[in-house]
Amino acid sequence: MLRFILIALSIHAVHTQAAAPAETDTLTAMRVLRDECLGCHKPGKAKGGLLLTTREKMILGGDSGTSVIPGRAGESLLYELVLEDADPHMPPKKQLSKDQVTALQNWITQGAVWDASVFDELPVPQPVALAPVPVTYQPVLALALSPDEKTLAIAAGSRVHLHDLTQPDRPRLGSLSGHEEAIQSLAWTQDGTTLITGGFRQLKLWDITTFKTTGQISTGFVGNLTALALTTDGKILFAADGETGGAGFIHRIDLPGKKLLSTWKAHDDTLYALRLSPDGSSLASAGADKLARLWKVADSKLISTYEGHTSHVLSVAFNKDATQLATAGADREIKVWDVKSREQDVTLGDKKTAFTALAWTPDGKALVAVTEKGNGSIYTELKKHDGAQRSETAKQTKLTGIAAMLYSVAVTSDAKTVFAGGDAGKVWLWDAAGKQTSVIEP
């Protein structure tokens, strides 16, 4: 609304203000919806049959009928159930503040005007007190080979262990300690001198010759930094972020300046994976909203969306010339997409176990996948799907199974060694024939 008007129109302006809520009132109330309600009332998790993703769905309501009657807060379930003495009570395990309850009441009374822009905002971080990670909690959530493939970084719990791959027994070179939380993601600079670690609301940079931190970035984040992707010149770092159960955001970071440049909403649910194309022109992302997306690195604009998985997409990988994108998901399938046409070229998997991580060799000849049941495969000679059985779309070399869930994977450029991380800080190794050859113990 205009702030300054002619005196002759002042009375009209007053009536206009009375008829519609101020923009700030609408945004305040809808941020309450986003932060306190949407986690349980979105596609795939619509408790009580109620969706709060659009005004129409909110008013339509769920199993108990309409949730909002615009103009009548006292008769609207959305308002009634957040009151302190409500039974049942929403949210189930907390009481909204008086300001939040009042914001919802006023908003409904004023007509429940909808402004979807709040769903694209990064949520305001809530205070969190972190307790040290138990020593026994050491899932290997991330693995990263140095650019020269001489060093393997293993994120085990809150520490990173560096191992020398040039020696037969792969001895530990040293460890990086400084995170209180579990480390979720890793990235090497192209010169192999710096390792970047992502945890809860913070990034740390490490000099691997001294095993000391050289800086950190801890502003502008709201949750776990689940994936990292660094441009080859080391100038721009992309980081996946988001609150548990909330939307997934991508941060664009000036790494030398340790400065956040921009942030955008990439997925409607948790973001699990990022991968830069070999030429550095595009960025792939994957999330719990069952989608994979492709973004233009130059301006962060959306290029395309790949839709076909029926559950969380947990990993993405490019072939050597970025003409194909592989996605793996909790729906027990690997899909290989034609990047430009967005058509599925290849479908892999036996539909028996969820795939947790993917890696494609730089020459594009081998695609490696590992699973939640401790097994995996090396796929070569991929052929475009022509209606034949999945087993005929690629040559499959199965990895010897182990009795542990696998979370992360890395593969040497010649595909002769596959690394996969599991629980208790362990990393298993396989050769090109799929034989398990050794294990790196914590």
Q: Cα–Cα distance between 244 and 13 in angstroms, integer?
A: 43
Q: CA dist 198 to 116, 173, 202, 225, Å?
A: 30, 21, 6, 5
Q: Determine the angle formed by the axes of helices 23-32 and 98-109, rounding to 10 degrees.
A: 120
Looking at residue 258, what is its pLDDT?
A: 96
Q: Cα–Cα distance between 274 and 286 in angstroms, integer?
A: 7
Closest C-alpha to 123, from 242, 238, 224, 251: 242
DSSP 354: -
Does residue 23 sit in helix, strand or coil? helix
Does residue 48 sit in helix, strand or coil? helix
Structural fold of domain 140-440: Methylamine Dehydrogenase; Chain H (2.130.10)
Closest C-alpha to 273, from 303, 221, 322, 229: 229
Query: 256-293 as b/e, with b when 16 or more CB fall inside 10 Å?
Result: eebebeebebbbbbbbbbbbbbbebebbbbbbbbbbbb
**Residue 201 tokens, joined:** 């609301």
Torsion-angle region of 174 (φ positive above 0: left; ψ -120 to 50: alpha; else: beta)? left
pLDDT in tens, the chain (442 residues): 333 223 232 323 333 333 344 555 899 999 899 888 887 888 877 888 999 989 999 999 899 889 999 999 999 999 999 999 888 889 988 899 999 999 999 999 999 999 988 888 888 888 888 888 888 999 999 999 999 999 999 999 999 999 999 999 999 999 999 999 999 999 999 999 999 999 999 999 999 999 999 999 999 999 999 999 999 999 999 999 998 878 999 999 999 999 999 999 999 999 999 999 999 999 999 999 999 999 999 999 999 999 999 999 999 999 999 999 999 999 999 999 999 999 999 999 988 999 999 999 999 999 999 999 999 999 999 988 665 444 458 999 999 999 999 999 999 999 999 999 999 999 999 999 999 999 999 8
Domains of the chain by residue range: 7-119, 140-440
388: CB partners within 8 A, 6+ apart: none
* One-letter amino acid of 350: D
Q: Name residue, tokens 């997306």.
A: 293
15: CB partners within 8 A, 6+ apart: none
- C-alpha dihedral sign at 385, 390, 395, 400: positive
Global confidence as pTM: 0.84
Q: Cα–Cα distance between 89 and 31 in angstroms, integer?
A: 19
Q: How crowded is residue 378: how many other Cβ atoms within 10 Å of its Cβ?
A: 25
Q: What are all long-range contacts of 252-258, with beta carbons under 8 Å and residues at least 24 apart?
A: 252/300, 253/203, 253/217, 255/196, 255/205, 255/230, 258/205, 258/215, 258/216, 258/217
Q: pLDDT for 74-91, tens place per residue?
A: 999 999 999 998 888 899
Q: Cα–Cα distance between 253 and 33 in angstroms, integer?
A: 29
